[in-house]
């Protein structure tokens, strides 16, 4: 690799993103895109240009899965490894590709042509299985498509010359409600917010009051009260406040933010602008997950158009003093970066490790400024509340959960896709509408959410009953819920950032216990240990990832215990470590076979 090429690539990236340390991840990402890895010389150059210690550059590069620090092939293929991909045969397709390309999973080919790897979840489970090749998504994989991809790779066809139809991502809207059917024109909600602020004496506080009156709860999963979050940020004395849109969408099974960013990006940005007016912010970010890198240009085009229309930038919609603009930052493959404080760290160009709280982000967030972080869908709802009013918004939903919810429905059903339902809809109603039959379980809210069985299908999607960020994965009677839980245990172990011991060790122990049971070496004691570990993780972890990592195991153990029990061979204690096997190796190495070298023998 020509060092001059490397340098000019780094310089171009620094030119585009700036030389502040906050841009580190973006610069690394651009080098990665150009060379398919970030070689040590590039890291040195980046450290010099951004005036950072090399240890910081290396630390950040190693943290993110999509930044490769070793050559990863001219074509880097990442197979989505969510449970919905496996249900559609992704493992067999990966094997097929590896066989045809003569590579082992995870290892670059010797000629440096290709590397085929697995990644946790790409966000296309309505059209699974899927993969990324050099960050470009290909969905609806089958044997024929895999063969075409292999031929293109073996012929070293540049990605730009691959058939365009390979890359289409379909957006399947199965049910529209007030949010998805709204035909808001750019600026409508902003002008409605101005009118509201000008009507009484409250000024822009009236914008926040409308959000509070609508009782809007965050759509990212945890259901924080949006109006109070915004108000608490506004109250902080500061010369700068920040609005962040969490478009990380990493929860396996969720893809409704992808739809919003593809088809309703105007609405998302409108909502962010309304929030900026409400909290008096000038700076905004969309944190776009690395898996959705293909959407970057279209989102940037929306931002550029709005700048031309005077809806972003100085004096928005002719309002003197209302200056607000938005940058898009692209992530690089890390689930924990969806956690709001980890996301802010990542935006600052650091490793995405969740912060200690207090202080809350509303007090000290991005670069120490008061910051709000909200989900993509929350901003859409906020824009519509300004436009149509709180009363209109509350007409849908339940008293505690106003409005509608977008559900990403996938798994064993005839009509996967995005559905907009009023809060309060029952699981059974969703199952009927999406064409699910013989369903035994639904994973609601992804692996960090809740797994329910047939006896609970009359439960309601609502913050007072089943909370969900949007994932709704359906499993029919052909599925083995133990294997589903084992898969999720591996997901959490892989995605734990390793910062705190309960999560780092606990998630790894859980995945190993599940493997042990799967191999037929488990005992009753292991089931008990799983329950104990789940409680420990829940109580002692530093962030929500660790807190919820044991949920799928606890839920399936409670509801599908026979799936675990039929794998147990011993109803007593079965050691995880084979002591005699290890001693046998030592005996061979030392040439000893006397009684003292055996368990129970005497020296």
Ligand X SMILES: Cc1cc2nc3c(=O)[nH]c(=O)nc-3n(C[C@H](O)[C@H](O)[C@H](O)COP(=O)(O)O)c2cc1C
Binding site for ligand X (CB under 6 A): 218-222, 224, 246, 248-251, 335-336, 338-340, 373-375, 378, 543-545
Task: Indicate the residue among 442 and 545 with the shorter CB distance to ligand X.
Answer: 545
For residue 373, the partner it binds in ligand X, ligand SF4, none, with Cβ less than 5 to 8 A by kind, is: ligand X
The 444-483 contact track toward ligand SF4, x by CB under 6 A, reads: ----------------------------------------
Other C-beta atoms closer than 10 Å to the C-beta of 128 total 23
For residue 250, the partner it binds in ligand X, ligand SF4, none, with Cβ less than 5 to 8 A by kind, is: ligand X
Q: How many residues interact with ligand SF4 (rule CB under 6 A)?
A: 14
Query: Is 361:232 a contact under the CB 8 Å cutoff?
Result: no
- Alpha helix segments (H runs only) across 361-499: 376-388, 390-394, 427-433, 481-495
- Which stretch in 92-100, 430-438, 535-543, 577-585 sits in contact with ligand SF4 by CB under 6 A? 535-543
What's the min distance (Å) between Cβ of 345 and ligand X? 12
Q: Looking at 89-197, which runs of residues are DSSP E strands?
A: 114-119, 131-133, 136-138, 173-175
Q: What are phi and psi of 119, to 5 degrees?
A: -135, 155
- Alpha helix segments (H runs only) across 519-572: 524-540, 544-548, 551-559, 561-565
What residues have CB less than 8 Å from 131, skipping those under 6 apart? 77, 78, 79, 80, 122, 137, 138, 141
For residue 218, the partner it binds in ligand X, ligand SF4, none, with Cβ less than 5 to 8 A by kind, is: ligand X
What's the min distance (Å) between Cβ of 501 and ligand SF4? 8
In terms of Cβ atoms closer than 10 Å to its own Cβ (0-12, 13-18, 19+), residue 346 is buried
What's the min distance (Å) between Cβ of 380 and ligand X? 10
Q: Strand, helix or coil at 566?
A: coil
For residue 314, the partner it binds in ligand X, ligand SF4, none, with Cβ less than 5 to 8 A by kind, is: none
The neighbouring-strand residues paired with 173 are 418
How far apart, in whole angstroms, are the C-alpha atoms of residue 299 and residue 304?
A: 9
CB neighbour burial string for 508-544, b if at least 16 within 10 angstroms, e if fewer: bbbbebbebbeeebbbeebbebbeebbebbbeebbbb
Vertex 357 angle, CA 52 and 204, to 5°: 95
- Which stretch in 22-30, 88-96, 171-179, 492-500 sits in contact with ligand SF4 by CB under 6 A? 492-500
Query: Is 367:382 a contact under the CB 8 Å cutoff?
Result: no
Structure tokens at 78: 């990442």
Per CB under 6 A, the list member of 169, 497, 513, 527 interacting with ligand SF4 is 497
The neighbouring-strand residues paired with 375 are 246
Q: What are phi and psi of 299, to 5 degrees?
A: -70, -40
How far apart, in whole angstroms, are the C-alpha atoms of residue 443 and residue 462?
A: 15
Task: Indicate the residue among 130 and 341 with the shorter CB distance to ligand SF4.
Answer: 341
539 near ligand SF4 (CB under 6 A): no
What's the min distance (Å) between Cβ of 546 and ligand X? 9
For the chain, give percent helix, strand, coil, nearest 5. Answer: 50, 15, 35
For residue 499, the partner it binds in ligand SF4, ligand X, none, with Cβ less than 5 to 8 A by kind, is: ligand SF4
The neighbouring-strand residues paired with 453 are 441
Length of the chain as a residue count? 603
281 near ligand SF4 (CB under 6 A): no
Of residues 239 through 278, those in contact with ligand SF4 by CB under 6 A are none
How far apart, in whole angstroms, are the C-alpha atoms of residue 121 and residue 312?
A: 33
Task: Indicate the residue among 540 and 576 with the shorter CB distance to ligand X.
Answer: 540
- Which stretch in 70-78, 382-390, 450-458, 538-546 sits in contact with ligand SF4 by CB under 6 A? 538-546
Task: Indicate the residue among 150 and 340 with the shorter CB distance to ligand X.
Answer: 340
How far apart, in whole angstroms, are the C-alpha atoms of residue 347 and residue 329?
A: 7
What's the min distance (Å) between Cβ of 4 and ligand X? 39
Per CB under 6 A, the list member of 371, 408, 468, 541 interacting with ligand SF4 is 541
Q: How far is CA 260 from the centre of its chain?
A: 15
Per CB under 6 A, the list member of 498, 520, 575, 601 interacting with ligand SF4 is 498
How far apart, in whole angstroms, are the C-alpha atoms of residue 555 and residue 451?
A: 6
What's the min distance (Å) between Cβ of 495 and ligand SF4? 7
Q: How far is CA 241 from the centre of its chain?
A: 25
What's the min distance (Å) between Cβ of 538 and ligand SF4? 11
In terms of Cβ atoms closer than 10 Å to its own Cβ (0-12, 13-18, 19+), residue 44 is middle
533 near ligand SF4 (CB under 6 A): no
504 near ligand SF4 (CB under 6 A): yes
Task: Indicate the residue among 316 and 380 with the shorter CB distance to ligand X.
Answer: 380
How far apart, in whole angstroms, are the C-alpha atoms of residue 291 and residue 295?
A: 9
How far apart, in whole angstroms, are the C-alpha atoms of residue 126 and residue 106?
A: 25
Per CB under 6 A, the list member of 500, 513, 530, 533 interacting with ligand SF4 is 500
542 near ligand SF4 (CB under 6 A): yes
What's the min distance (Å) between Cβ of 366 and ligand SF4? 19
What's the min distance (Å) between Cβ of 509 and ligand X? 19
The residue assigned the tokens 């990442």 is 78
What's the min distance (Å) between Cβ of 373 and ligand SF4? 16
Strand pairing class (471-476; 439-444): antiparallel
In terms of Cβ atoms closer than 10 Å to its own Cβ (0-12, 13-18, 19+), residue 190 is buried
Vertex 535 angle, CA 534 and 537, to 5°: 65
496 near ligand SF4 (CB under 6 A): yes
How far apart, in whole angstroms, are the C-alpha atoms of residue 575 and residue 529?
A: 13
The 57-76 contact track toward ligand SF4, x by CB under 6 A, reads: --------------------
- Which stretch in 47-55, 284-292, 537-545, 561-569 sits in contact with ligand SF4 by CB under 6 A? 537-545
Task: Indicate the residue among 90 and 246 with the shorter CB distance to ligand X.
Answer: 246
Task: Indicate the residue among 42 and 344 with the shorter CB distance to ligand SF4.
Answer: 344
Task: Indicate the residue among 422 and 469 with the shorter CB distance to ligand X.
Answer: 469
The 335-374 contact track toward ligand SF4, x by CB under 6 A, reads: -x-----------------x--------------------
For residue 410, the partner it binds in ligand SF4, ligand X, none, with Cβ less than 5 to 8 A by kind, is: none
For residue 220, the partner it binds in ligand SF4, ligand X, none, with Cβ less than 5 to 8 A by kind, is: ligand X
Task: Indicate the residue among 248 and 270 with the shorter CB distance to ligand SF4.
Answer: 248
What's the min distance (Å) between Cβ of 336 and ligand SF4? 5
Residues that bind ligand SF4 in the complex, under the rule CB under 6 A: 336, 354, 496-500, 503-504, 541-543, 545-546
């Amino acid at each position: 690799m020509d060092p001059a090429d490397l340098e000019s690539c780094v310089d171009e990236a620094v030119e585009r993103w700036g030389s502040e340390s906050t841009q580190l991840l973006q610069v690394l990402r651009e080098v990665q895109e150009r060379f398919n890895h970030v070689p040590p010389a590039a890291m040195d150059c980046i450290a010099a240009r951004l005036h950072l210690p090399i240890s910081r550059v290396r630390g950040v590069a190693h943290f993110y899965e999509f930044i490769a620090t070793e050559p990863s092939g001219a074509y880097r293929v990442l197979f989505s490894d969510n449970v919905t991909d496996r249900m559609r045969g992704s493992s067999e397709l990966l094997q097929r590709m590896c066989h045809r390309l003569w590579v082992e999973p995870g290892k670059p080919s010797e000629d440096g042509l290709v590397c085929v790897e697995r990644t946790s979840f790409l966000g296309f489970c309505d059209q699974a299985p899927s993969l990324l090749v050099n960050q470009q998504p290909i969905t609806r994989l089958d044997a024929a498509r895999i063969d075409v991809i292999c031929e293109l790779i073996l012929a070293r066809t540049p990605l730009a010359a691959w058939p365009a139809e390979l890359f289409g991502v379909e957006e399947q809207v199965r049910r529209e409600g007030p949010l998805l059917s709204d035909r808001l024109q750019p600026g409508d909600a902003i002008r409605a917010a101005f009118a509201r602020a000008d009507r009484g004496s409250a000024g822009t506080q009236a914008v926040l009051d409308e959000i509070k009156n609508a009782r809007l709860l965050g759509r990212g999963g945890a259901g924080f009260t949006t109006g109070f979050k915004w108000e608490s940020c506004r109250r902080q004395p500061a010369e700068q406040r920040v609005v962040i849109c969490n478009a990380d969408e990493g929860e396996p099974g969720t893809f409704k933010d992808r739809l919003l960013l593809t088809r309703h990006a105007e609405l998302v940005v409108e909502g962010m602008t309304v929030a900026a007016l409400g909290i008096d912010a000038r700076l905004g970010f969309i944190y776009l997950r690395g898996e959705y890198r293909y959407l970057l240009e279209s989102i940037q085009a929306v931002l550029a158009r709005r700048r031309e229309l005077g809806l972003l930038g100085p004096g928005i919609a002719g309002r003197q003093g209302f200056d607000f603009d938005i940058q898009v930052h692209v992530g690089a493959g890390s689930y924990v970066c969806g956690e709001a404080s980890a996301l802010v760290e990542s935006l600052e160009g650091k490793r995405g490790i969740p912060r200690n709280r207090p202080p809350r982000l509303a007090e000290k967030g991005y670069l120490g400024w008061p910051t709000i972080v909200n989900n993509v869908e929350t901003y859409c709802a906020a824009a519509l509340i300004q436009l149509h009013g709180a009363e209109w918004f509350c007409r849908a939903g339940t008293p505690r959960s106003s409005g509608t919810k977008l559900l990403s429905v996938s798994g064993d059903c005839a009509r996967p896709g995005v559905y907009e339902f009023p809060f309060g809809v029952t699981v059974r109603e969703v199952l009927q509408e999406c064409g699910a039959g013989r369903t035994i379980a639904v994973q609601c809210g992804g692996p960090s959410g809740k797994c329910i069985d047939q006896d609970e299908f009359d439960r309601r999607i609502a913050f007072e009953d089943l909370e969900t960020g949007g994932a709704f994965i359906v499993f029919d009677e052909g599925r083995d819920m133990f294997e589903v839980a084992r898969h999720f245990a591996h997901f959490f172990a892989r995605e734990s950032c390793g910062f705190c011991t309960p999560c780092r060790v606990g998630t790894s122990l859980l995945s190993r216990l599940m493997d042990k049971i799967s191999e037929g070496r488990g005992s009753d004691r292991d089931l008990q240990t799983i329950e104990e570990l789940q409680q420990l993780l829940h109580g002692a972890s530093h962030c929500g990832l660790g807190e919820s990592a044991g949920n799928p195991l606890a839920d399936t153990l409670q509801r599908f215990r026979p799936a675990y029990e039929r794998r147990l061979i011993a109803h007593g204690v079965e050691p995880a470590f084979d002591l005699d096997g290890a001693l046998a190796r030592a005996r061979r190495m030392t040439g000893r076979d006397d009684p003292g070298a055996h368990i129970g023998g005497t020296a």
